[in-house]
Structure 1
Amino acid sequence: MPDNAARRFRFGVLAPLRTDLPAWREQVRRIADTGFSTLLMPDVQQWQPAPAPTLAVAATLTDLRVGTWVYASPLRTSRNLAWEAHSLSVLTEGRFEMGIGTGRPGIEDELRTLGLPVATPGRRLAQVRETITSLRELDGPELHTPVVMAVRGPKAQALAAESADTVTFASTPGDSRADIIGLAAGFRANHDLELAQHVAVVGDEVSPFMAPPDTDPAALRAADSLLVLPSDPKAATEEILRRREEGGFSYVVVGSNAAGTLAPVVAELAGS
């Protein structure tokens, strides 16, 4: 079995621009000073400015890596999305990571609102493949834009094994630790890729851009969900180490509202 447990930790923060611009710039600088490696943007029009220009601005403020968490494949044509991702790689001098998936729950309603075709799940996955293929063509031999894929089923896992650099498993509030560790174990049996953990809740604080607003932290803890981490730094450190040992998860992504709470954890674990 590939030994993903040996991968070094890194930490990312989902930090949409939801305040005035000076306050957001200061937030980006604080995140960088805390030791996080990557600043991430969601792909939802109702929440913020478009990801690409926002990330381009963020990349001028610090040396952080930047990325999407994650592009929804049916919202753009595959070639245009690949062009956007390649452009970000060029403009950030290789610090951009393209996170991509088939769309969060409810994507069909968003597509209808935008007047876009409501593609089947299979077609949306094909769009992911086409985007990555176009990105590799645009990058050429001199550039490699890392691809982070959000996956769940066997077809998406197979595409990720073939084309991605990092994998995160799309989780629901009902998924237990055993469910997600089982998915990770099955994937790791044959593939040595970085595994990322989407953490939507720290303590009782729900990150508004990573989980529905009615998310119940107590229910997640009762289900032994990996979507939640303790707010106590020592307990969070122990839990993150356990997740790497059991499931191979070495890249942890949290919301910006949890960045300060987990700062001591990041300081201790980043790069180890």
Structure 2
Amino acid sequence: MDEAPKDRTNTGPARRAFRFGVVGESICSGAQLLATARRAEDLGYSALVLRDHFVAEPFGDQLAPMVALASAAAATSTLRVGTMVLSNDYRHPVMLAKEAATLDHLSGGRFELGLGAGWLREEYEAAGMPFDAAGARVGRLEESLRILRSLLSGDRTTFAGEHYRIDGLEVFPRPEHRPPLVVGAGSRRMLGIAGRLADTVGILPRALPDGTISEEITERLPETVERKVGWVREAAAGRDVELSMVVTPTFGPDPRRAAAKVAVMRGWGTASTGLVLEMPSQFVGPPEHIAEQMLARRDRYGFTYYQVPDTAMDAFAPVIAHLA
């Protein structure tokens, strides 16, 4: 199986340009989907991405991502479409490769495949799926990524792992270029896998064994994020990997007051205002100040791809204009 596939993303400049995506969290109908996709394209966003959940909590009801993204791609001409991120356990990698290749073809090469190990225990249990230990879920994800890299590169793929066995398969339609692979990760092992196998790595707080995401403030502090970025770069071994983060900006004329609002809303208390101001995942203040923060954090950490919720996409558009 070819481990050096042809792709669109591994040969970029040393310092990437910014790009921005919209997370379609409040989209519950076809009309909302098309309106959001067209609005995002008009505002200068690079991509519309959808989550992959079939329970209402914690993000609200969701359309099935792959089907919905095909519709969004048909309604736009330049907007990329992607998953942020699919749970690996919900689809066999061969079937996912078939769907991804088809969606990439239908969109004219505008699809980005985001994949994660799965973390929401409540969702697994509601569907009657076993919620295996993290080690098993992460192991399956790593094997899936290797299979997907090969199949979506157009290679005849044979693979024998602990979790999957593939015997001489090829995918149709064959992508002209392999769709970029996106992995969201928060633990050292996951970040290492993402660094080796993904084109874009979303830096996240770590997932907990109880099936939730850590709310610890330490997971969001500069030294923690810097350490996680270091693990990605070490595993990437010189590959040009795009670094990404989902953020919810808080606008206001005074950055400190906006940061205090975030600190109280997140349950960290006003004493944490100074920490919020320094968090790589928090952007507070007027648009021009947020643009300056993004430039500084690109220099420090390397983040160049940010996604914002669809509810914030109009308010955030001036930031894009500042950085265009």
The amino acid of 2:30's aligned partner reads L
Name 1:131's counterpart in structure 2. Answer: 144
1:6 equivalent to 2:15? Answer: yes
> Aligned pair count?
257
Whether 2:247 is the aligned partner of 1:199: answer yes
* 120-129 vs 14-23, greater mean Cα deviation: 14-23
Evaluate the alpha carbon distance shift between residue 257 and residue 218 of structure 1 in structure 2; reply closer, same or farther with a 3 A threshold: farther
The 1:202–1:73 alpha-carbon spacing in structure 2 relative to 1, beyond 3 Å, is: farther
Matched letter for residue 64 of structure 1: L
The corresponding residue for 1:187 is 232
Could you tell me which residue of structure 1 aligns to residue 9 of structure 2? Answer: none
Deviation at 1:89, TM superposition (A): 1.5
Structure of larger gyration radius? 2
Give the residue type in structure 1 aligned to 2:130.
Answer: P
1:35 corresponds to which residue?
A: 44
* Higher RCO, 1 vs 2 (CA within 8 Å, ≥6 residues apart): 1
1:160 aligns with 2:194: yes
Unaligned runs of 5+ in 1: 205-213
d(CA) in 1 for partners of 2:34 and 2:284?
28
Aligned counterparts of 2:133 and 2:96: Cα–Cα separation in 1 = 19
In the alignment, which of 73, 88, 98 is matched to residue 88 of structure 2?
73
Q: Is the 8 A contact 2:83 2:112 kept in 1?
A: yes
Q: Please state how far the C-alpha of 1:196 moved relative to its aligned partner.
A: 0.6
CA distance in 2 between partners of 1:144 and 1:160 (Å): 16
- Tell me, in whole angstroms, the C-alpha distance in 1 between the residues paired with 2:231 and 2:130: 34
Mapped to 1, the partners of 2:66 and 2:269 lie a distance apart of: 35
Q: How does 1:213-232 map onto structure 2 within 5 Å?
A: 215=266, 221-224=273-276, 225-232=279-286
Matched residue, 1:58: 72
What aligned pairs does 1:89-168 form with structure 2 within 5 A after superposition? 89-104=104-119, 107-139=120-152, 140=154, 142-168=176-202
Q: Cα 1:228–1:20, aligned 2, differ >3 Å: closer, same or farther?
A: same
Letter in 2 for 1:120: A
Kept in 1, the 8 Å contact 2:249–2:316? The answer is no
Q: Secondary structure at the match of 2:314?
A: coil
Q: State the Cα deviation string for residues 104-128 of structure 1 (Å, max 9, x = none).
A: 4xx1221111011212211211222
3-state SS in 2 of match to 1:261? helix
After superposition, the C-alpha distances for 1:169-217 in whole angstroms (9 at most, x for unaligned) are 112441212211232134335443111122134349xxxxxxxxx7459
Corresponding letter in the other structure for 1:84: E
**Identical amino acids, percent of aligned pairs:** 32
Task: Tell me the alpha carbon deviations over residues 52-93 of structure 1, each in whole angstroms, 9 at most, x when there is no partner.
Answer: 011000001112000001111122223323332222222212
Give the CA deviation at 1:20: 4.2
Q: Per the alignment, in what secondary structure is the counterpart of residue 228 of structure 1? A: coil
> CA 1:16–1:84 in structure 2 vs 1: closer, same or farther (change >3 Å)?
farther
Which residue is 1:177 aligned to?
222
1:133-192 deviations in Å (ceiling 9; x for gaps): 332333215430110111222322222222110111112441212211232134335443
Structure 2: gaps of 5 or more residues: 1-11, 56-60, 156-175, 206-213, 253-264
CA 1:125–1:86: 2 relative to 1, 3 Å = farther
